[in-house]
Each structure stands twice: as structure tokens, then as C-alpha cells.
Amino acid sequence: MNTIPFFTNTNRILQGKYAKFFHTASYLTKKSDQFDSISSENDFQSLMDKCGYAKRQKFVMHRGEWNSLGRKIPKSYLDAIGVDIHTLSFTLELDREEFDKVLNTPFSPEYATIRILPGIYQSIPLPEGITEEEAIEVMQLYVKEKNLRCFINLPEIKSIRFEPDGHVSIYHFPPVIQESKHWMIPSEYVQIP
């Protein structure tokens, strides 16, 4: 993996501080901040116009969500703040490499969350030091016995979901961006067969 001091901080990963789009969000924020530091009110209004916004407060809110990849991003915004598509691809590659590294790290879940009723959930502790595979076996038996839905989450990395019949579905949350004609759309999850 190539390293660039601005983007790379392996200590962050080793300390368990994984963030799904860390490098890409850092890049977008840096580009956006540079725009703010040199822009005048007219430039800011021009940026809003290019993105199709008339209300400043709404634009500022959406801009923060774009920079953190919390919502789909208009390509007009990326162009306006000077995002280089090759650098963006590089930051996504760094994010995917980090995701793969974290995904392959042994996971010892501390609790599972059961669905008692629609909208009502309860966390139940799992035995200390239990492996992911052991937790899956335990929860499969539990949901069959109690006829409940349940899940075990590893935030921003994966979710293991259990149906009352014991069926298990695993969802990964890789840092992927889909591209359309006018948008860059951050992925939410990918189901693993």
C-alpha cells in the first residue's frame, strides 16, 4: 500500500478507530476547507448555485454530509471544490485496503441485540472472549428457542442477522462509491451469500 502522510495513519487502525470512508472524507473536507478559506460571499453563492441550492442553511448541512459521505454527492459539488478524480480513486483504494484489514481481524462480540417487538430492541451480553463463530452458533440456538430476530453488529464493518428459524445473513459495509451521471453515491452495505 502506498502511503501519503496526509492520508495514512496506521496507528488509528491499530487502536480500533476504524472509520468507513476516513481517507476519502479527509480528502473532501480538505478540498472543501480550502475553498472556504479563499472564498468570498459571491464565491460561496456561486457554489450554492452550481449545486442547485437557494437556501444557505440547507446547503451547509448537505455540504457537511457530502464531505463525510453521509449522503449522495452531486458531481457539480466535487467539480466546484476542485476534487481530482484520480486522487478520489486513490483515497477509496486506501479505504478499501483498511476495510479488508479490519474485516479480517478476529472479532469477539460483546453483546447481541434482540428484536422484542417492532421498534423495541434489547441488548444481551455474550460470554467474554467468545469468538464470532461461537457467537453465531449460540445466537442461532437462542433465536430458534425464543422465536425472535437478532443481530450482532461490528459498526461500519459488518452485521450478522439472525431470523427466528436460525437463518443467518451477513452484511458487510465496504467503502464503495457508485457513480451515476450526476451523482457519486456512497454504498450502505453488501450482503454476503
pLDDT the model gives residue 41? 72
Domain boundaries, the chain: 10-105, 111-172
| Measured distance CA(180)–CA(193) in Å, rounded | 26
Instruction: Provide the grid cell at 112.
Output: 447481541
User: For position 38, what pLDDT does the model report?
Assistant: 55
pLDDT, tens digit, 9 for 90 and up, residues 95-113: 999 999 999 999 899 999 9
Strand-pair category, 73-74 with 111-117 = unpaired
In eight-state DSSP terms, residue 78 is H
pLDDT at 7 over 60: no
Over range 28-53, report the average pLDDT: 79
pLDDT in tens, 123-178: 999 999 999 999 999 999 999 999 999 999 988 899 999 999 989 999 999 999 99
Give the model's pLDDT for residue 33. Answer: 83
Nearest Cα to 84, choosing from 27, 39, 38?
27
CA 97-98-100 angle, to 5 degrees, is 65
Q: Is the pLDDT of residue 2 over 90?
A: no
Percent pLDDT > 90 in the chain is: 69
Over 70: is that where the pLDDT of 12 sits?
no
Please name which of 151, 109, 159, 150 lies closest in space to residue 131, comparing C-alpha atoms: 109
Q: How confident is the model at residue 45 (pLDDT cuts 50, 70, 90)?
A: confident
What average pLDDT does the chain have? 86
Supply the pLDDT for residue 48. Answer: 87
For residue 97, give the nearest of 23, 11, 166 by alpha carbon. Answer: 23
Q: What percent of the chain has pLDDT over 70?
A: 87
